[in-house]
Structure 1
Amino acid sequence: MKQAFFDLTVDVAGKSLHDISKTVQDEVTSRELCSGLLTIWCTHTGASLLVQANADDDVAADIVAFFEELVPKRPGHYRHAPDQDDNAPSHLRALLTQTQISMPVEDGQLALGKVQSLFVFEHREVGRARRLRLHFIGK
C-alpha cells in the first residue's frame, strides 16, 4: 500500500471555474501513482472544487451566473461584513459546493468521464493563488 501527501498551488482568475485536471493528472503521473483513491482538499473558504462538464464554456458561465443570483454580493446585507464586499457571499457559495473531492485513479489516470473536468471554483472577484492539499492511497 502506498500513501502520498502533496500540495499544489493554482493561480485562478476571479469568479470563474479553473480547469485543474491536467495539473492534477501531471502530478499523478510524475509521482507514479497507479491505482487507488485521490482526495483533493481546497484549503480556502472562498473557493471550492467541482467535477463538471468541460465540452462547452457556457456550462461554466451558467454555473457562475447561477451562484451570482443565488448568493449575490449585497453590501450591508450580510452580518459578516469585512472590508471586501465579496467576502461573505464567497463563503456562502463555498458552503453550497464542496471543498474536497475524492476520485479513483485507475492505471495512472484520473477516473473522469469523457466530458468531465476537475475545477477550482473561485468565488472571489479578484484572482489569487489557491492551495490544494492532496492525499493518495493505493499502489
Structure 2
Amino acid sequence: MSGASGKAPAQTILCLETRGPGLYEFTDRAAAFARQAGLKAGLLTLFVRHTSCSLLIQENADPDVQRDLAAFFRRLVPHADDPRMDYLVHRAEGPDDMPAHIKAALLPVSLSVPVMDGRLALGTWQGLYLFEHRDRPHRREIVLHLAA
C-alpha cells in the first residue's frame, strides 16, 4: 500500500546492544533512517519487540536526567528479592525479570514521531531512547515504520 506521496512505507529493524539497566539513545540512527527514506512528510512509528524494556522520548542534553529516571524506576519497582516484592510469583529468569515486565507495562513500547521536511520533528532537547530494564546485556530490536 502506498501513501499520499506515492511512496510505499519504509521499514527497518534497529538492533541495539545493551550492557544492563539504563537509557540507550538511538536518535541519530532513527533520524538517518527517516532521511534515507526520502519522505518529506510522514509519521515514524517505533516499536520495541521485547517485554522487558521500553521506548522513551526524553531529554538528551543532561545525562543526569537519564540517571535520575533509572534511579526512580529502581525505587518504584525494586528487584524481586526485595522484601517489598515478596508477592511476585514469576521468578524463573532471576530477580530482575518480573520487575522489568512491570516497568515495561508502565512505560511505552511504541512511539510515534512526525517527520517534517524529511527530519524527525523532535524538540531541541528531545532524544529517542531504549530503556533497558534487565540487569544483563541484551540484543534489542526496534522496528521503524515510516509512512506518509
Tell me if both proteins adopt one fold, taking TM over 0.5 as the criterion.
yes
Query: Which structure 2 residues correspond to residues 1-139 of structure 1 after superposition, within 5 A?
Result: 1=3, 2=7, 3-75=9-81, 77=86, 78-138=88-148
Q: Distance in 2 between matches of 1:113 and 1:22?
A: 14
Q: Distance in 1 between matches of 2:141 and 2:44?
A: 16
* Rg larger in structure: 2
- Structure with the largest fraction of strand: 1
Q: Once superposed, what is the RMSD of the aligned Cα atoms?
A: 1.2
CA drift of 1:8 comes to 1.2
After TM superposition, the runs of 4+ consecutive aligned structure 1 residues lying more than 6 A away are none
CA drift of 1:135 comes to 1.3
Mapped contact 2:80–2:91 kept (Cα < 8 A):
no
Seen in structure 2, the aligned counterparts of structure 1 residues 38 and 63 have a Cα distance that, compared at 3 Å, is same
Mapped contact 2:14–2:143 kept (Cα < 8 A):
yes
- Paired amino acid for 1:122: E
Unpaired runs of 5+ residues, structure 2, are none
Unpaired runs of 5+ residues, structure 1, are none
Mapped contact 2:80–2:98 kept (Cα < 8 A):
no
CA drift of 1:91 comes to 0.3
Task: Give the number of aligned pairs.
Answer: 138
Q: Percent of counterpart pairs with the same letter?
A: 38
TM-superposition CA deviations, 1:15-49 (whole Å, max 9, x none) = 11001100111111222232100100000011100
